[in-house]
Chain A
Amino acid sequence: MGKHTPLYDLHVAAGAKIVDFAGWDMPIHYGSQLEEHHLVRRDAGMFDVSHMRAVDVRGCDAQAWLRRLIANDVAKLTTPGKALYSCLLQEDGGVIDDLIVYFFSPSHYRIVVNAGTADKDIAWMRSQTAGFNVDLTPRPELAMIAVQGPNARAKFWAAFPESRAASEGLIVFQAAEWNDWLIARTGYTGEDGFEITLPAAQAADAWNKLAAAGVKPAGLGARDTLRLEAGMNLYGQDMDETQNPLESGLSWTVDMKDATRDFIGKSALAARQAAGALRQFVGLVLIDRGVLRSHQKVVTAQGSGETTSGSFAPSMNQSIALARVPAGVKPGDEVQVEIRDKLLRAKVVKPSFVRNGKVLIQEK
């Protein structure tokens, strides 16, 4: 038996199909993954993401330590509640995890990391604190609920009207504290919405109030197709310790602007960049009939590459993938993907397929 979030009993009562996810017993769907996907694109759905781990960072060197620890630069964060997406890198530039860091003050931040990597991440972070006045506090007692979709915020406010004043003015990637909750306008679906971090003891009540306001639960299956359509990377699939962010579509999260800032992995990334011929991280849309999956061979005029995530895309009614391919492959190219010994045709596109309910790709 795996670990259970504070919402586990509610998932079982709702008829969820439970699967193992990184050691946690989590709902993959509550009946139909496709319906849950469409619900989030068209209305609002809620996900239990309590398996993710919050880590509070406090101390007078918190900012200096984070500027050393992660590839994006927290010095950009000056408004309390603002958040930043970043990779946590090894010295060789390999990705240990991707994370979100919230800024409260230069001596107080919160990091949220993936469930499957949490223990590894925290051990790594602790090993990097020498010489810094910084204190790390993992918060496994906190639950997290993501409410996502075009109507997510309105339905959240219907469930919690008193929270509206505190959260109405939030811009994307900004959070506000409300009582002992953190309300963040973030997500992993390509839709608007909030991610709520709250004490575990309040999670079931919050979930039930959201349900009463008309928000239906959605499982990890829909979460995966939603994030893939949005072109968002999944750690362990689209990048891991053996891949660097520059060749994983994450160059935009590597901040080299401050020449005086020496973050872990910087010299390795600079060397890789100088060497050139970086592999491209692209989107694929399957032209022939079939379904793209991860780890399929991609044949291009410039050599072969590999799909990193692939699925049927419910919002597009066709199959899509993220793929790492040789330098020189560009949007508009036609490539071939090997599926069960057959070569099927696919079109190379920018790796962002659907955002805010709209399909961005016009292929096929």
Chain B
Amino acid sequence: MNVPADLKYTKSHEWVKLEADGSVTVGITDHAQEALGDIVFLDLPEAGRQVNAGEECAVVESVKAASDIYAPIAGEVVARNDAALDAPESVNQDAYAAWLFKLKPADAAQIDALLDAAAYTKVAEEA
């Protein structure tokens, strides 16, 4: 299973990367893209939207099913990946390169509470 050690994770299969500027980048894990199959549509949040931790804020649809994406932490959406919007299959090709949106955390301490790679690997293996 491809679970990079330098990222944080959620039980709902999002990955989270803390950037140098204090923002976080969010995507779905390789395990999630594998389970979804061919991804054909993304619905991503607009910049400026305020989200709570655990709030539904994006949708990833494969040929077979729609899957809600949850905000890993509270904050303000500061960017979305328009390139991925135009090429949803890029999430299948490299789930860690094809990020979905970036957040400015309301409380950076929430990042520490997320799963590390080892803990997420366990979650994914049990799913």
- Are A293's CB and B66's CB within 8 A? yes
Known contacts A289-B41, A291-B40, A312-B40; decide if A33 and B66 are in contact (CB<8 Å): no
Contact (Cβ within 8 A) A34 B38? yes
Instruction: Report whether A290 and B37 are in contact in the complex, using a CB–CB cutoff of 8 Å.
Output: no
Among B41, B61, B63, contact of A33 (Cβ-Cβ < 8 Å):
B63
Find the A residue at minimum CB distance from B68.
Answer: A340
- Contact across chains for B43 and A33 when beta carbons are under 8 A apart: no
Which single member of A221, A289, A314, A319 contacts B37 (CB below 8 Å)? A221
Interface flags, A8-42, vs B, CB<8A=1, else 0: 00000000010000000000110011100000000
The yes or no answer to A86 lying at the interface (CB within 8 A) is no
Residue of A nearest to B35 (CB): A17
Q: Which residues between 178 and 233 of chain A lie within 8 Å of chain B, taking CB atoms?
A: 221, 225
- Interface band, chain A: 10 to 19
**B59 contact set on A, CB distance < 8 A:** 340
B54 nearest CB across to chain A (Å): 17
Tell me the complex Cα distance, A291–B38, Å: 13
Give B34 Cβ to nearest chain A Cβ, in Å.
Answer: 9
Are A312 and B63 interface neighbours, CB within 8 A? yes
Interface residues of B toward A: which range? 10 to 19
- CB pair B43–A225 under 8 Å, yes or no, is no
A290 lies within 8 A of B63 (CB)? no
Q: At the interface, yes or no: A311 with Cβ under 8 Å from chain B?
A: yes
The reply to whether A291 and B37 contact each other, CB–CB distance below 8 Å, is: no
Within B14-67, the residues touching A (CB, 8 Å) are: 37-38, 40-41, 43, 59, 61, 63-64, 66
* Interface contact B43-A314, CB-CB below 8 Å: no
CA distance in complex: A289, B43 (Å): 9
Contacts of A32 in B (CB 8 A): 37-38
Within the complex, what minimum Cβ distance (angstroms) separates A284 from chain B? 16
Are the CB atoms of A290 and B38 closer together than 8 Å?
no
Query: B residues bordering A, Cβ < 8 Å?
Result: 37-38, 40-41, 43, 59, 61, 63-64, 66
A291-B61, A293-B66 known; 8 new pairs, CB 8 Å cut-off, are: A28-B64, A34-B38, A225-B63, A290-B43, A291-B41, A291-B66, A312-B41, A314-B63
